[in-house]
Chain A
């Protein structure tokens, strides 16, 4: 069985004929993968596709060999998604939402209380998310991610608005999950805290998705990720556009698999 994500011929856009994300072939395996790219490139949209929030207009996405849209329950059972916007319904208390997640992941409801305790929200768990600060809202979504030891984690700007202690809690938990063999994809502009553990990077440039293996040398890793987050390497076939220009939306070709070079085919 293929662990992690496999994307084949994926196209997605909010309006017909204008794809925001396009990926002919991409594999995201176990370990930490950083999702990099400039603002508005389509990183969060790719996250939504991988989380099963949005369905690709074309192509398939499988997680651990299960199609996200053929077996919706099975593929999402051990998936945790932390969106950039803490997206919780205003019609339920934080405790109710966390208990719902626990019941759906088939873990004891006591785990929900433990998760709330871990993020420091026990005292306000009876409130609606609308009565919480932005940092507390993000903690609430993180509490949901902590439940049931998920082995696929999608984190969109996870450190944003978190205080120092919560950042440390999150990074410790991430390290545990990575050591346990989880597939972790982090979209971030704060690369430093994740760099040491990252195995690969995925770049999104105007919707075109590429992946590349990071080299072992720390300095080379740093240079590559910084370059990728500022102006990601242009994939073969898209031409040598200058920074800030919008390349034409074309289907990217399959890349090679050597360190520092784009990869993609599963």
Chain B
């Protein structure tokens, strides 16, 4: 086993790596910047759309303004970088490479450019992303990054009009309702899966680095798989609240609250497949426990989504308590899997009751995102 360093030592090492000569952490910093900018780009396009487009601003200036505006969601990274540099200078009395700091700033600016949804993303995004990654290496990398930034400005074209995923799917209307949830989630499912897969990976490392009895190894895997499922559902539930608020008009259609809950359970369960596949690689018994407990965990998440209302903690606040309690109980005593399975009708009824009690046309400013709201009439 590799000993875990103490937290102050860990912090110091990584701060010095970030502002020092080691490029590995700086590249990770750039990747984080690119990910954040890619997430924020479509939302920013919505916010800067509408009436603002009637102002006398050309397409190129508008795109550049969006790239600059994307530095706002990247501010936490800028603050982190400044704090790391300050800590290195004043606390650890270590040298700071100014070119590295300049490179990190350039990298974030180019990450912003890569996050702008433009009409030629297949060429513009790789160029800006390559510039962002090059810039963090400092020196010649900064020059290369700036050059790639200029090329991006030439080839990107105007900001693209959003193309909604519509029309291409020719399946039965029965699947439209969960499909709406999956379309709302989109590629964000990948980001939600990172933490759960990390938990499974940690369990794997723990198992191979320790001499555990069969029983103890099984317990570790069960815990990891079930907690991974809870983390998956918590992330998905929060995303769904934001990106797919309740669809009020659909409640006038002949679909009961139990079916609406079932749709959400299906929508939550399918993205959990990678976690279950990893579980299969770890221990088939843990997979079995995970599959049998999954309906109860998904129903708890579906219920929490309906009770999230104006809570700052969204659905995950409640769900991390209830879901983790169930997951840990089942992991501790696998026999409780049958209790979890037996509680499915009760949990379904409870979630359906929460669905009926929803006030769906009430303004929820805390969780509102016009892009997914059927009542956001002018959003495009």
Contacts and interface: CB of A to CB of B under 8 A. Distances in A.
A53 B246 CA distance: 10
A87 B374 contact: yes
Contacts of B173: 96, 99-100, 102-104, 109
Most chain B beta carbons < 10 A, residue from A81, A100, A103, A134: A100
Given A89-B180, A131-B164, A104 B255 contact: yes
Contacts of B375: 85, 87
Q: SS class of chain B's interface: helix, strand, loop or mixed?
A: loop
Contact of B380 (A89, A92, A131, A154): A131
A51 B250 CA distance: 10
A131 B163 CA distance: 9
A105 B362 CA distance: 27
Interface in B221-249: 244, 247-249
B249 A83 contact: yes
A125 B320 CA distance: 41
Contacts of B131: none
A137 B173 CA distance: 20
Interface residues of A, number: 48
B172 interface: yes
A52 interface: yes
B248 A130 contact: no
Interface in B106-160: none
Given A53-B248, A77-B254, A103-B172, A128 B166 contact: yes
A63 to B, nearest CB: 11
A100 B247 CA distance: 14
B174 interface: yes
A48 interface: yes
B180 A92 contact: yes
B183 A141 contact: no
A48 B250 CA distance: 11
Nearest to A87: B249
A96 B162 contact: no
Contact of A91 (B252, B359, B372): B372
A245 to B, nearest CB: 26
Contacts of A215: none
Given A52-B251, A87-B374, A89-B180, A130 B380 contact: yes
A92 B361 contact: no
Interface in A63-102: 69, 72-74, 76-77, 79-81, 83, 85-93, 95-97, 99-102
Nearest to A72: B256
18 contacts: A51-B251, A81-B252, A87-B374, A90-B372, A90-B379, A91-B165, A91-B166, A91-B184, A91-B244, A96-B173, A99-B176, A104-B254, A125-B167, A126-B167, A127-B164, A128-B164, A130-B162, A130-B380
Given A81-B249, A91-B180, A92-B176, 20 more contacts: A14-B359, A53-B252, A72-B255, A76-B255, A83-B248, A87-B249, A87-B374, A91-B165, A91-B183, A91-B244, A91-B372, A92-B166, A92-B179, A97-B176, A100-B177, A104-B253, A109-B173, A128-B164, A128-B165, A154-B252
